[in-house]
Amino acid sequence: MSNEDMLYAKGSKIWVPHPEQVWETATVQRDYHKGDITIQIVKDSGTSVELSTKPDGSNLPPLRNPAILIGQNDLTAMSYLHEPAVLHNLKVRFCERQIIYTYCGIILVAINPYAELPLYGPSIIRAYRGRSMGELEPHIFALAEEAYTKLEREKCDLSIIVSGESGAGKTVSAKYAMRYFAAVGGSESETQVERKVLASSPIMEAFGNAKTT
């Protein structure tokens, strides 16, 4: 019995494309065997569908993670890491749990809530001071603390890359990182350096963001 035979047995949960929701869940209706050119599924909406598959199984639909892994605070902890799994995990954390931050290894994924959240006060800064990434819930302060600690310990130049589409919250994320550096560096108030760095952002974006994809 091949690996595909076991993973795509009757009752296995999978993802299939959806014209509006991008992805939707479905269940394998009949055991799939390697070499088959179709796989029978039933969507959660109740529609039965027969999907065409390549004999080598290279285009089989993505598998869904077990329920216990859905909502993980680190995407790398999931059994299956692909587009529908990532999107669903982020959706669960943001829409159902109101959590905007999620790790993907050493990367911090942030969803712009388009609202002020009580996550950046002095008490939160103190909570993340001296903590390693992963000890507490994902946060921009955890990433900033990791960079600050390495800067102190290794005395080397470091960079935090803030990437995203227009409106993703890059400027605000940079502002909160600078706020953390200002606080742990001796002052919880906005410093002159912080103001200068944030004020330079539009100029830098004029050169670096000639095209937004």
Mean pLDDT of 186-202: 67
Smallest Cα–Cα separation from 134: which of 73, 185, 76? 73
90 shares its domain with 175? no
Query: Phi/psi at 108 (nearest 5 deg)?
Result: -105, 120
pLDDT of residue 187: 58
DSSP H or E run through 139 = none
pLDDT at 99: 98
**What pLDDT is attached to residue 182?**
86
pLDDT score of 210: 54
- 3-state SS of 21-50 is CEEEEEEECCCCCCCCCEEEEEECCCCEEE
Q: What are the helix (H) ranges across the chain?
A: 3-7, 83-91, 122-128, 140-154, 170-184, 192-199, 201-208
Position 196 in a domain = yes
What residues contact residue 117 under an 8 Å CB cut-off, 6+ apart? 100
In a domain, 58, yes or no: no
**Shared-domain flag, residues 133 and 154:** yes
pLDDT in tens, 86-112: 999 999 999 999 999 999 999 999 999
Q: Which residues are annotated as a binding site for ATP?
A: 164-171
Residue 213 predicted with pLDDT over 60: no
Residues 90 and 131 in one domain: no
14 & 73 share domain: no
Are residue 107 and residue 172 in the same domain, yes or no?
yes
- Residue 59 forms part of a structural domain: no
Residues 93, 188: one domain?
Answer: no
**Residue whose C-alpha is closest to residue 77's, from 66, 61, 63:** 66
State the chain's mean pLDDT as an integer. 90
Tens of pLDDT, residue by residue over 33-82, are 989 999 999 999 999 999 999 999 899 999 999 999 999 999 999 999 99
Q: For residues 129 and 184, is the Cβ–Cβ distance under 8 A?
A: yes
Once rounded to an integer, what is the mean pLDDT over residues 14-24?
95
Residue of higher predicted confidence among 58 and 192: 58
**Contact, 146 vs 181, CB < 8 A?**
no
pLDDT at 70: 95
**pLDDT digits over 140-166, tens only?**
999 999 999 999 999 888 889 999 988
Instruction: Please give the residue range of the domain that contains residue 109.
Output: 100-208
Q: Please return the burial class of 206, using the count of CB atoms within 10 Å of its CB with bins 0-12, 13-18 and 19+.
A: exposed
Structure tokens at 165: 């589409």
Average the pLDDT over 171-180 and give the result: 90
User: Do 90 and 112 have their domain in common?
Assistant: no
pLDDT at 198 (0 to 100): 67
DSSP strand pairing (22-28 vs 13-18):
antiparallel
> Does residue 61 belong to any structural domain of this protein?
no
pLDDT score of 196? 73
Q: What would the mean pLDDT of 113-133 be, rounded to a whole number?
A: 95
